[in-house]
A and B are shown apart, each in its own frame.
Chain A
Amino acid sequence: MAEAALSSVAKPAAQSEIREKVLRRFELGDQAFHVLTKSSAIAVLILLGGVILSLVQGSLPALSKFGFGFLTSDAWNPVTENFGAAPAVYGTLVTSIIALAIAVPIGFGIAIFLTELCPYKLRRPIGIAVELLAGIPSIIYGIWGMFIFAPFLQATVQPALIGAFADVPLLNQLFAGPPYGIGILTASIILAIMILPLISSISRDVFDTVPPVLKEAAYGVGCTRWEVMRSIVAPYTGIGLVGGVMLALGRALGETMAVTFVIGNAHKIHASILGPGTTISATIANEFTEATGDIYTSSLIALGLLLFVITFVVLAISRLLLMRIEGKGAR
């Protein structure tokens, strides 16, 4: 070592040459790394393009036969080969929206409790329990939903809902019909339970990123807990919260097994959310294996393409939301 140091002091010219060599070697490594990462990123794009292409190609026979009517028609008749996506799209959107409406407030509530109010001793066990909920396979949720949750809803909650709103206009349409136990509402609640841990653990993590000094300052000037959450923590973590909700929405839109068990699988749009319905992914899962005939198979692939588009639109909207929030934050 010392010898090397001495020699380098002795020969400054040689040293700069070595330095250049080393730098060039680094540059080469850098370039290789650059190419490697860039090609990985491009591979994703190519893969995505391939998926879109094959979805479009697969759905062409159906789309060219039904045209725009595929979106608006509520027919699903394998005998006459007449198909429409409206009930499946409706079911997908409605179950996801109801699931979010239930899971978002509860998820945020859990996260706020865990970060702000919960005694230290309880934080870890409750946090782990919430994350364990996320680890349960969806088929288990489906089986549980069908055997335990749906009969419970049928016996208690649904008759109560029907009875309570029987005389309220509009709401009596929303909660009408015989209490089957399974249906749109049951599927939505199961979905809500499934996405709850996603929302709560992501929001808990982002709440933890708020610098304590901000909160302490707010408490110092006499803010209440509610005011601190609303005016300090929520604005600071807005982006993360929206991200968590969107991730949850993505899962709700694509969830298959659990929904198939409890939604009733009927290609119909009912005014009542107690009625049976279907979703895009449930329809594909149910019917793909036995779909004979080109138009039938193609219609199912077209449904897949629609789900892809819906997910893409949702992601785009969330991007827009994030950009607006970021813009606000900068101002």
Chain B
Amino acid sequence: MSKLLRSALVVAVVSAATSALAADISGAGATFPYPIYSKWADTYKKDTGIGLNYQSIGSGGGIKQIEARTVTFGASDAPLKPDVLEKNGLVQWPMVMGGIVPVVNIEGVKPGQLAIDGPTLAKVFLGQITKWNDPALAKLNPNAKLPNTAIAVVHRSDGSGTTFNYTNYLVKVSPEWASKVGSAVSVEWPVGLGAKGNEGVANTVGITKNSIGYVEYAYAMENKMTYMDMVNKDGKRVAPKTETFQSAAANADWAHAPGFYQILTEQPGAKSWPITASTFILMPKKVPDAAAAATALKFFDWAFAHGAKQAEALDYIPMPANVVTLIKKTWASDIKDASGKPVYEPK
């Protein structure tokens, strides 16, 4: 019940803040990009004096709040489908990217030593592969010594954009996963332990021997976890790093994705990491407050132009330049005030 109360409080605080601090930008939503948004906001405030009040209440909460127009922008790790965008009169675009990596806790195994491919990963999470020395895993790792122990599967217990992207990948690589489980911010997990938040999964894998879980790349790096390499769509073994994440984004077909509805899992390219994810910003097409919307867009424009270094320092991946050009075009053509004039025209 305390969560209920808290979201009610957040609504109250956010709506109070929008009226009290008119100069500040107000946003709410996904927890995954919170560290970089606050870092950008910090620098931006020093440069311009305009602050950002971002409530990281989860993607679902962000979508609900922008639908209710209680914030200037919403943020979600899962993109809204074009028809849903249309129905709610919203525009969306990807803001920054990250990677999702499988992490394990097996005695004596170091980061990057083991590799796994999509179908095998799906079988582990379906509970069909139950031992670490299963032939399927042994075939992918001919040189590793895999223990004869049960696999403890760890997943998110809370609804999460990370889960959305992870299950989206499993759906693409495993027909059985697609028919039995599917993809959403939370799903009916066939096996395993549920832990709250990226940090919860990281901790549970950390303390549970012979376990496997999935976390955002930044959490895996921060906690020095044993990540696995993966076999991508082109059949190549790749390690999770900026280069492989950016390859996935660059090879994705953004230009032909209406409403930027593009999920960066299982993208082509020899160097592409198979589970890359972008986090999205949502704004109304017809903004209720043109000045506030223009301020927010100016901030996003600044972040695209000057925020890349800070993003990389926090293990996020900046959007490729060609995608940013597309996004700016959308701002000029789609986000308008009551009289139908664009609220902000980027240079």
**A positions within 8 Å CB-CB of B:** 75-80, 146-147, 150-151, 154, 178, 180-183, 254, 256-257, 260-261, 264-267, 276, 278, 281-282, 284-292, 304
Whether, in the assembled complex, B204 has its beta carbon less than 8 Å from a beta carbon of chain A, the answer is: yes
Stretch from B42-50, B113-121, B152-160, B223-231 forming part of the interface with A: B152-160
- Whether a CB of chain A sits under 8 angstroms from the CB of B2 is yes
A180 touches B194 (CB 8 A): no
Known: A182-B204, A288-B7. A79 touches B158 (CB 8 A): no
Q: A79-B182, A292-B185 are in contact. Are A304 and B152 (CB under 8 A)?
A: no
| Shortest distance from the beta carbon of A283 to any chain B beta carbon, whole Å | 9
Q: Contacts A265-B196, A276-B193, A289-B58 given; indicate if A78 touches B4 (C-beta within 8 A).
A: no
Is B189's CB under 8 angstroms from A78's CB? no
Chain B residues lying within 8 Å of A286, measured Cβ to Cβ, are 157-159, 194, 196
B60: which of A75, A151, A178, A291 is its contact (CB, 8 Å)? A291
> What are 14 A-B interface contacts by the 8 Å CB criterion?
A77-B182, A77-B187, A77-B188, A146-B207, A147-B207, A265-B194, A267-B188, A278-B194, A286-B157, A288-B4, A289-B158, A289-B159, A290-B59, A290-B186
Given A267-B188, A284-B1, 7 extra CB contacts under 8 A: A77-B187, A79-B182, A79-B184, A146-B204, A147-B207, A266-B193, A289-B159
Q: Is the CB of A79 within 8 A of B196?
A: no
Tell me, yes or no, whether B87 is within 8 Å of chain A by CB: no
Given A180-B193, A180-B208, A182-B204, verify A290-B159 contact (CB < 8 Å). Answer: yes
Chain B residues contacting A76 (CB-CB under 8 Å) are 188
Interface membership of B82, Cβ < 8 A:
no
Tell me if B1 and A304 are in contact (CB < 8 A). yes
Task: Report which residue of B7, B58, B158, B181 has the largest number of chain A beta carbons within 10 angstroms of its beta carbon.
Answer: B158
Nearest-Cβ distance from residue A159 to partner chain B, whole angstroms? 11
* Cβ A265 vs Cβ B195 within 8 A: yes
- Tell me if A78 and B60 are in contact (CB < 8 A): no
B3 at the interface (CB under 8 A from A): yes
Q: Which residues of A contact B203 (CB under 8 A)?
A: 146-147
Given A78-B188, A285-B3, CB of A290 within 8 Å of CB of B158: yes
Residues of B within 8 A of A261 (CB): 196, 200
Do the beta carbons of B3 and A265 come within 8 Å of each other?
no
B186 to chain A, nearest CB (A): 5
Proximity string of chain B (180-220) to chain A, C-beta cutoff 8 Å, 1 when within and 0 when not: 01111111110011111000100110011110000000000
Which residue from A150, A154, A180, A287 sits with its C-beta under 8 Å from B158?
A287
From A80, A257, A260, A266, give the contact of B189 (CB < 8 A). A266
Contact for A284 among B4, B57, B189, CB less than 8 A: B4
In angstroms, Cα B159 to Cα A291, docked, is 7
Determine which of B7, B150, B185, B195 lies in contact with A78 in the assembled complex, contact meaning CB atoms within 8 Å: B185
In the complex, the chain A residue whose C-beta lies closest to that of B189 is A266
Chain B residues lying within 8 Å of A290, measured Cβ to Cβ, are 58-61, 158-160, 185-186
Number of A-B contacts (CB under 8 A): 111
Question: Is the pair A78, B3 in contact by a Cβ cutoff of 8 Å?
Answer: no
Of the candidates A254, A265, A281, which one forms a contact with B193 in the assembled complex, judged by CB atoms under 8 Å apart? Answer: A265
Q: A81 — nearest CB in chain B belongs to which residue?
A: B184
Q: Which residues of B contact A254 (CB under 8 A)?
A: 1
Bound Cα distance A287, B7 (Å): 12
Residues on the A chain within 8 Å of B104, using CB:
none
B63 CB–A CB distance under 8 Å: yes
Which A-B residue pairs are the 10 nearest by beta carbons? A290-B159, A265-B194, A265-B157, A79-B182, A290-B60, A77-B188, A289-B58, A264-B193, A178-B150, A286-B158
Contact pick for B183, options A79, A257, A282, CB 8 Å:
A79
> A80 → chain B, closest Cβ, in Å?
7
Q: Do A154 and B2 touch (CB < 8 A)?
A: no
Contact B193 A284 (CB under 8 A): no
Binding site for A on B (CB under 8 A): 1-4, 7, 57-61, 63, 149-150, 152, 157-160, 181-189, 192-196, 200, 203-204, 207-210
Do B193 and A292 touch (CB < 8 A)? no
User: Which residues of chain A are near B152, meaning CB under 8 Å?
Assistant: 178, 180
Distance between A126 CB and nearest chain B CB, rounded to angstroms: 32
Contacts of B150 in A (CB 8 A): 178
B57 surroundings in chain A (CB, below 8 A): 289
Q: Which residues of B contact A178 (CB under 8 A)?
A: 149-150, 152, 210
In the complex, the chain B residue whose C-beta lies closest to that of A143 is B203
| Bound Cα distance A266, B157 (Å) | 8
Contact A256 B60 (CB under 8 A): no
- A265 neighbours in B (Cβ, 8 Å): 157, 193-196
Q: Is the CB of A281 within 8 A of B182?
A: no
Nearest-CB distance from A158 to chain B (Å)?
12
CB-CB < 8 A to A285: which residues of B?
1-3
Min distance, Cβ A51 to any Cβ of chain B, angstroms = 11
Given known A-B contacts A150-B207, A290-B158, A290-B160, A79 and B189 have beta carbons under 8 A apart: no
Which residues of A lie under 8 Å from residue B186 when comparing CB positions? 78, 287, 290
Among B7, B194, B196, B204: residue with most chain A CB under 10 A: B194
**How far does the alpha carbon of A264 sit from the alpha carbon of B201 in the complex, in Å?**
11
**Residues in A neighbouring B207, C-beta threshold 8 A:** 146-147, 150-151, 154, 181
User: Which residues of A are found within 8 Å of B63, using beta-carbon distances?
Assistant: 292
B194-A154 in contact (CB<8A): no
Docked CA distance A257–B196 (Å): 11
B149, B184, B187, B200 — which one has the most chain A CB atoms within 10 A of its CB?
A: B184
A151 to B157, alpha carbons, bound, how many Å? 20
Contacts of B4 in A (CB 8 A): 284, 288
Closest chain A residue, CB of each to CB of B183: A79
Q: Are B159 and A287 in contact (CB-based, < 8 A)?
A: yes
The distance in angstroms between the C-alpha atoms of A269 and B207, with both chains bound, is 24
Instruction: Please measure, in the bound complex, the distance between the C-alpha atom of A287 and the C-alpha atom of B187, giving whole angstroms.
Output: 11
The closest CB in chain A to the CB of B157 belongs to A265
CB distance from A108 to the nearest CB of B (A): 30
**Across-interface contacts of B194 in A (CB, < 8 A):** 264-266, 276, 278, 286
A contact residues around B182 at 8 Å (CB): 77, 79-80
- In angstroms, how far is the closest chain A Cβ from the Cβ of B165? 14
Instruction: Give chain A nearest CB distance to B131 CB in angstroms.
Output: 11
